[in-house]
Structure 1
Amino acid sequence: MGNNTKVYLEIVKQLREMITIDGLKTGDKIPSERELSERLNFGRSSVREALRALELLGLIETRRGEGTFIRDFRGNHLVQLLSTFILQDEKAKRDVLETKNYIEMDCLRLALQKINDKNIEILKEWVNQEATINDDEFFIRIIEIADNHLFTRIWSILKDYYHSLDSTYVVYEREDYLVLIKALAEKNEAKTLSVYYNLRNLSVSNDKY
């Protein structure tokens, strides 16, 4: 934990200094991961994780095909904020996972309104032909059906950041996904969410949602 924290803080510190030296301001583009890795002398994976954390905090934003831009890098307490909230903190990890779960549930609700027979068949075919089901890939497909770009972006950041904090990867049973697809095909919200709770081993009753 200590080494990871030091790496994050050092990358953020050097990035802030670079922004000041280069005279960059809100709305300006920052160098690519590769350029930052070379300039700051850190591995690309460390730079990528630091940028993900900064994006989660709303300090930078990535625009597909355009690059990464500064949103608000002026906060004097940025390093303290990162060290107390974002870096390997168990509460942060739980918060990220909980928020990711909520977004997945909302995307399932949206998907229920938009899903069609073709979507169902494609999902079934994919689940049945995969040797091992990749949970992220399954929910990417659900989010695509939900067709909400903001959810897509937030979920992607949360997913990547959670994986950077927790290297364990849960493998779910094929049948779990087939049951979820069946509930979606029936357009039954209560059943869909109930299956999701079972999939994620959540103990909270769906009456709360």
Structure 2
Amino acid sequence: MSGTSEKVYVEIIKKIKTIIEEDNLQAGDKLPSERELTDRLHVGRSSVREALRSLELLGLIETRRGEGTFIKPATGHRLVEVLASFILHDKKAKQDLLETKSIIIRDCIELAVQRINDADVESLNDLLHQINEADHPDQLQQLSYQFKDTVIKLCDNHLLYRLWIELSGYGSSLHGNTFLLDSGECSQIVEHLKNGDSKKIIQLMSSEL
């Protein structure tokens, strides 16, 4: 794909996202037709069709014969991730992303060590036990992500937590994989949380960067 066509392609996807927001469309709602999108976006119909096909391949929308194109319920994919796969080819954008993720992780952990309680430790130990017992890679991946998510959520700051979720979405698009903590690292994090050692936790949690 040439630089010019890639730029047009990215712009179409961004504009479709804007239309979804402007029309207040939710999962299950029908998207405007190809003809309407072509008119509203002032681009060629073939370009609109290509953008829609890509969104469908990514599981964000679905086409029902004779009915139209509909927004699929969220299943871990976000439109922001789709945009990231195109936009984050820029070296400065990549560096900014990594730097911001590092700041968010640090702030979340520093709050977490101040706010963790006995019930939180019990919850993490339960997850650690499940990780040690997991015998399937998919189960281990899910539990590892759940453990990391639980640790971040201990910051008890909804905005910081949402920022981490969104930035993690960008990261998975950028790297094509998800960083996983192993059982030993999870065990260390629990101990460091109990001891209030935020620096060591930040070092372990930042391995994904």
TM-score bin (small chain): 0.5 to 0.7
Instruction: Indicate how the Cα distance of structure 1 residues 170 and 152 shifts in structure 2: closer, same or farther if over 3 A, else same.
Output: closer
1:197 aligns to what? 203
1:181 aligns to what? 190
Aligned partner letter, 1:118 = A
Instruction: Check whether the contact 1:127–1:177 (CA below 8 A) recurs between aligned residues.
Output: yes
Q: Distance in 1 between matches of 2:190 and 2:96?
A: 27
Larger Rg: 2
1:32 aligns with 2:38: no
TM-score, normalised via structure 2 length: 0.61
Out of 126, 151, 154, which is 2:160 matched to? 151
Q: Distance in 1 between matches of 2:183 and 2:151?
A: 16
1:8 aligns to what? 10
- Structure 1 spans left out of the alignment, 5+ residues: 57-82, 203-209
Q: Distance in 2 between matches of 1:104 and 1:9?
A: 31
Instruction: Check whether the contact 2:124–2:190 (CA below 8 A) recurs between aligned residues.
Output: yes
Q: Distance in 1 between matches of 2:10 and 2:179?
A: 26
Q: Distance in 2 between matches of 1:115 and 1:8?
A: 43
Number of aligned positions between the proteins: 164
Q: Distance in 1 between matches of 2:201 and 2:158?
A: 25
Q: Percent identity?
A: 26
Q: Distance in 2 between matches of 1:153 and 1:199?
A: 17
Instruction: Check whether the contact 1:12–1:50 (CA below 8 A) recurs between aligned residues.
Output: no
Q: Distance in 2 between matches of 1:153 and 1:15?
A: 20
TM-score, normalised via structure 1 length: 0.61
Alignment of 1:1-209 (within 5 A): 7-14=9-16, 18=19, 30-32=24-26, 35-36=30-31, 41=49, 42=52, 43-44=55-56, 45=58, 51-52=79-80, 86-130=87-131, 131=134, 132=140, 134=142, 135-186=144-195, 188=196, 191-201=197-207
- Structure 2 spans left out of the alignment, 5+ residues: 35-47, 61-73, 135-139
Q: Distance in 2 between matches of 1:129 and 1:15?
A: 39
| TM-fit CA distance, 1:90 | 3.3
Q: Distance in 2 between matches of 1:144 and 1:125?
A: 16
> In terms of mean alpha carbon deviation, does 5-14 or 46-55 score higher?
46-55
